[in-house]
């Protein structure tokens, strides 16, 4: 009888040079760990990304937020509505164009972000420890380039 193969011993086969399965695996592991943090606060999946991006870009539009986060607009609206109902996010009328609303964190949203950020930083520590500072910067740059290559209409099937 053959000995069972452990997950880390499985060969990638035809996927050996494919980015997708590895990116999906990384995303799934990070998402699972982040969910454990946000679920402690009763927040829906994706909330941390949305809160973080609003915090870094106060006054951004929902469409810009959807583009940067990779969420479909309908999913993003659901998350923003939930965060607004919890008093964490505010929709603020633009000073330049009163028809236009921008997003900002409330004081409660800023407090929660400080709490969440401290816990989330621990999640990525293992990744940061696997690289030196230069490699980590390069890894982030490579991820950004891959994302740009697929979101700027250059990808096959786009």
Q: Is residue 13 part of a domain?
A: no
Q: Is residue 54 part of a domain?
A: yes
Q: DSSP letters along 112-134, please?
A: HHHHHHHHHHHHHHHHHHHS-HH
Q: Is residue 61 part of a domain?
A: yes
Domain that holds residue 37: 20-151
Count structural domains, the chain: 1
How many Å apart are CA 42 and CA 121, to the nearest integer? 19
Q: Is residue 2 part of a domain?
A: no
Q: Is residue 103 part of a domain?
A: yes
Q: Is pLDDT above 50 for 158? A: no
Reported as a single tens digit per residue, the pLDDT across 64-91 is 999 889 899 999 999 999 999 999 999 9
CATH number at residue 97: 1.10.10.10
**Average pLDDT of the residues in 56-70:** 91
Q: What is the pLDDT of residue 157?
A: 54
Total-model pTM = 0.79
DSSP 155: S
Q: Is residue 15 part of a domain?
A: no
How many Å apart are CA 79 and CA 28, to the nearest integer? 19
Reported as a single tens digit per residue, the pLDDT across 110-122 is 999 999 988 888 8
């Amino acid at each position: 009888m053959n000995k069972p193969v452990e997950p880390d011993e499985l060969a990638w086969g035809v996927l050996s040079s494919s980015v997708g399965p590895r990116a999906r695996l990384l995303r799934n592991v990070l998402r699972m760990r982040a969910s454990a943090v946000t679920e402690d606060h009763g927040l829906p999946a994706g909330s941390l990304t949305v809160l973080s991006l609003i915090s870094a870009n106060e006054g951004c539009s929902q469409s810009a937020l959807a583009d940067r986060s990779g969420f479909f607009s309908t999913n993003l609206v659901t998350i923003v509505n939930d965060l607004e109902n919890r008093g964490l996010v505010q929709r603020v009328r633009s000073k330049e164009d009163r028809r236009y609303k921008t997003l900002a964190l409330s004081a409660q949203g800023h407090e929660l972000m400080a709490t969440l950020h401290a816990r989330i930083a621990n999640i990525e520590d293992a990744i940061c420890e696997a690289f030196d500072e230069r490699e980590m910067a390069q890894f982030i740059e490579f991820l950004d380039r891959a994302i740009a290559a697929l979101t700027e209409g250059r990808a096959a099937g786009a």
